[in-house]
Structure 1
């Protein structure tokens, strides 16, 4: 297999994905994911025959031999071990015994929590229940079937309507019954008893060696796992493993890989674990999102479209402002430079409209906090930034900026950074840019076109009522502040004053009666053919100040024009949609 040619111009797989299985041992968990995995990995599957009685340590050694064989062929490639339940214990054991191998572990409901689960008592039931009545034991049925409804729904076409999906369920269930019967047949009482014994040994073996596991690890935890306390176990393992991340699936059961709404490739991409070598390259290792992944990424911003009905304006090369994105160039390299709206409220619409209307994939230069493992630990939802990573955000650095421009990418840059995005009360539309240029000479090196732009309307949606100055008066807040703004995620430490104050915090905001968002992309600024000229600091600084002035002009233009928009308030917009249809484009001010 080779990499996806459209997304990564390489001709070799990123690594091996060895699927270590759960209680059944026959590979059912791989069925829904094999096709997508096969596009970017060379996939191997560990199959354990039903009557096989190979001890756990021998299984570990078997996987270990396979890993070493692959490693000798591809010494610089990472090896991905995907393990579910028992397979997770095998993956952990192999990683612990081979600390020098570059592993990426993906563990679904790991059975390391066996001693805290209901499975301990299951063997006692097996002793008194004759075969084949052992299949009536509730835990056994749950072991085999997981969440049957979600598994059935995963077989229904996502494009069907709700009524069509419900109508399709009976046939979906009928298609699943032979599979469930098959699973019951391959787990006779003797085999089930053996596998429970295996789980006990596997759990002890893996837990005793957790301290030796240094590999990148992603844990997928089902919130409704009736067999194992998977949610709690995920937190325990995350604290025990130094390079571990968690993704919770609240409605999933024990066999979560068989259920709908879960995609292994998406999970690996979203946490930035897909790579071709030991070091992650956020540019060359990036895979374009599928349409489903893209929609999932921008979904959290959908409410902005619903309540704010954004207006898009652009500027032609002759300076004329027009509705739509006609003035935005489609060919890269291009650098969009703008004002960072409060908490990036504009990002979803900005990214989706550029892709939909101009086929422009925007790659954002983002704060390193969004990529740190320690950042996820303190977040209420560890997957909070998955969407931004899926659509192509990269950590801010000169190297990443250079790589993106060298590939003729379209780059989104906010010179004001976190200081603008989480500004204080009364600081709407105020730029906090550094005094010296940070991007002009790099852009000129590749002849990139600079697009100054601005968005206004945050003051018609939200109002900051508690900012960083207010937080400082709260007892013990300094402890949380230091944990969030640790050295690893600090930016512009050498810059003094407000520009250097890039502290992260979550302001308390009060919603307002919804107004409207307005985007304006200024006149494109060409740097092609100006590389030698802009190597001079004075010339680069002059262009930098010009870009900043253009962004401020865009802000002033929009603030003035929105006063003439009869649909700035949500009430007239709703009235317009009632009479013209909710899919109709709402007008704005006539004179541009």
Structure 2
């Protein structure tokens, strides 16, 4: 199939959908967006005023509000203008992509409209060149021919951009289509993002509809109940949830009655979208697609991000997700327990954030944690920061820094604005201080600190006893805020780009310390970071965090676990699976055992952070090449961290608001977002 002409549908919700037949490349005019760090300065008292700050400092571009209503409205226009073969279209709201954006092809589910990503078009359009496949209601293209259509599109794109990956995003039927393309093209760099793929069709009740529809005479209009059970039940329940989300009961009843006519029109659109003949054809198509793909799953070797819904009323998606994860070698699975079949139309689902948080966005053959990193959007930063608002109120952090003249101030003014800068500090129990530290610097100083984290957090497709951290959304926070695997190469590249870098030399050993080891540094013998910092003239800022003993007490530590045979064997196995960071060292900090200590929570005390005076390395490159000199500076940094710890431990004894109840009383009589006083500096 070759492209002969472009076809334009009428304007819907302020945008035009450009429809292209075949595989002709689509050119969309755009202005490239800057990746500079936006100014985000705010005081603590307006910490939660995200929208005002975003408008003031241009954290994100203005977006058109879209909802599932837009899906139905634009589907209605597509249905009126329908006819012809399957074709690609690129929504105009996707025309602001960044430089070297990879191509993303969206393969639709049973509806065939190609509008399944409508809630994500604007965000996806900033980082992808998006084409959506539209399969008209009257079209009867065979599954194998649909596969060939996608293959021709990919082949055309590779001629223009041979070094960039091709993203295939498929839901339901589209998921099978994406898998089939990957099977037939193992030599092409394809990334699959699959939402509830229909590979479990043979186990679902949907297949029972095929003989039922075949038995119903065409003259009888009895197909509607089947359509309702197939799509309307799941889709309309999602609409209802969207309409009444967060509303009180009385208002909910009012909303439902007001939107009754709207719901009726949605049913009408669904009826036009899936008339009897089309529904029968689509079910047969899914049946063929599922059988085709399941017989070839062992040949799939593409990178896959699999998204499974827990309340899918059409397919057994959650169980199927676990099966596919075991079968497919490069499959990362994410569960969405409260979502239905039409995952991309659910409110609260952000596909761009999911892609970024799972490290699946790349512009070349391999993911680059430096060049492929995208700044957090306003919504992403809110998701990172808001869960810590309660902790922020409970702990009322005291943050101190040191100016160049040695003066200690109660803010972050002492952290140099211009990089490269290396923040070197002590790791509290379970890394309790990391997120508050990074987000506070981002908010108050407009500085994005790139944390150096253990590589096991970033490992994908992990098999074995060690938990697959890439499956755990709790680590999405550090990835969205720019954390990278600790390595000399990443150090070099971050310093080259004049970044602010966060390093914990004690690593896991400090974060998982044992009873009685609070505030004890476990640093390696070698001065690992000094010469790298000196090479780029980076300022080294030693800092300390104190307060872990006020939050919880370790009552069952590593030594206790190793006395129990079962846990001892488990920890040894897990250790053998862990990436070795200091393989040539026999020091205790090099032999880190991943484990989870038993911690007894306490009423939260107060968190104290203290950044010491920056240490200059500018002009000392030649001097610090000498191992002895670099080791002396290393010991100076370490002693400064210990001095910061001692200072905070001593001063907090004189803090009248160290305990929880005095702080709560102060906040209750003032404001819960007001800054609570502390000791005299």
TM-score normalised over the length of structure 2: 0.82
Cα 1:498/1:253, change in 2 over 3 Å: same
Aligned-partner SS, 1:107: strand
TM-fit CA distance, 1:319: 1.4
Q: Indicate whether 1:321 and 2:411 are aligned.
A: no
Q: Indicate whether 1:281 and 2:368 are aligned.
A: yes
TM-fit CA distance, 1:430: 0.5
TM-fit CA distance, 1:124: 4.0
TM-fit CA distance, 1:507: 1.3
Give the distance between the partners of 2:357 and 2:117, measured in 1 at CA.
Answer: 19
Aligned-partner SS, 2:339: coil
Q: 2:319 aligns with which of 199, 217, 232?
A: 232
Give the distance between the partners of 1:405 and 1:140, measured in 2 at CA.
Answer: 58
TM-fit CA distance, 1:12: 3.5
Q: How much is the aligned-residue C-alpha RMSD, in angstroms? A: 2.5
CA contact (8 A) 1:333 1:410 kept: yes
The equivalent of 1:348 in structure 2 is: 435
Aligned pairs (5 A) from 1:556-575 = 556-575=646-665
Give the distance between the partners of 2:493 and 2:263, measured in 1 at CA.
Answer: 48
Cα 1:45/1:289, change in 2 over 3 Å: same
Give the distance between the partners of 2:433 and 2:255, measured in 1 at CA.
Answer: 39
Aligned-partner SS, 2:424: strand
Deviations 1:37-78 (A, max 9, x none): 121111111111111111111111111111111112111000
Q: Indicate whether 1:134 and 2:223 are aligned.
A: yes
Q: Indicate whether 1:89 and 2:179 are aligned.
A: no
CA contact (8 A) 1:132 1:188 kept: no
The equivalent of 1:388 in structure 2 is: 478
Aligned-partner SS, 2:653: helix
Q: Indicate whether 1:472 and 2:562 are aligned.
A: yes
The equivalent of 2:674 in structure 1 is: 584
TM-fit CA distance, 1:126: 2.9
Q: Indicate whether 1:218 and 2:305 are aligned.
A: yes
Give the distance between the partners of 1:163 and 1:351, measured in 2 at CA.
Answer: 40
Aligned pairs (5 A) from 1:159-558 = 178-375=265-462, 378=467, 382-487=472-577, 489-558=579-648
Greater shift in the superposed pair: 47-56 or 5-14: 5-14
Cα 1:299/1:248, change in 2 over 3 Å: farther
Deviations 1:467-500 (A, max 9, x none): 2222222333345324533345222122213222
Give the distance between the partners of 2:249 and 2:611, measured in 1 at CA.
Answer: 43
Give the distance between the partners of 1:174 and 1:387, measured in 2 at CA.
Answer: 41
CA contact (8 A) 2:505 2:524 kept: yes
Cα 1:319/1:163, change in 2 over 3 Å: farther
Cα 1:554/1:89, change in 2 over 3 Å: same
Cα 1:441/1:59, change in 2 over 3 Å: same
Cα 1:275/1:562, change in 2 over 3 Å: same
CA contact (8 A) 2:393 2:672 kept: no
CA contact (8 A) 2:206 2:230 kept: no
Give the distance between the partners of 1:382 and 1:322, measured in 2 at CA.
Answer: 38
Cα 1:18/1:192, change in 2 over 3 Å: same
Give the distance between the partners of 1:278 and 1:370, measured in 2 at CA.
Answer: 21
CA contact (8 A) 1:153 1:169 kept: no
TM-fit CA distance, 1:408: 0.9
Aligned-partner SS, 2:323: helix
Give the distance between the partners of 1:436 and 1:240, measured in 2 at CA.
Answer: 43
TM-fit CA distance, 1:129: 5.7
TM-fit CA distance, 1:151: 3.9
TM-fit CA distance, 1:122: 2.3
CA contact (8 A) 1:145 1:255 kept: no
Give the distance between the partners of 2:162 and 2:497, measured in 1 at CA.
Answer: 27
Q: Indicate whether 1:65 and 2:168 are aligned.
A: no
TM-fit CA distance, 1:140: 3.3
CA contact (8 A) 1:492 1:502 kept: no
The equivalent of 1:148 in structure 2 is: 236
CA contact (8 A) 2:329 2:461 kept: no
The equivalent of 2:58 in structure 1 is: none
Cα 1:415/1:161, change in 2 over 3 Å: farther
TM-fit CA distance, 1:443: 1.1
Cα 1:4/1:161, change in 2 over 3 Å: farther
TM-fit CA distance, 1:104: 0.6
- How many corresponding residue pairs? 588
CA contact (8 A) 2:98 2:126 kept: no
TM-fit CA distance, 1:583: 2.0
TM-fit CA distance, 1:273: 0.6
Greater shift in the superposed pair: 168-177 or 326-335: 168-177
TM-fit CA distance, 1:530: 1.7
Give the distance between the partners of 1:376 and 1:458, measured in 2 at CA.
Answer: 33
Deviations 1:181-206 (A, max 9, x none): 22221201111111111111111111
Aligned-partner SS, 2:224: helix
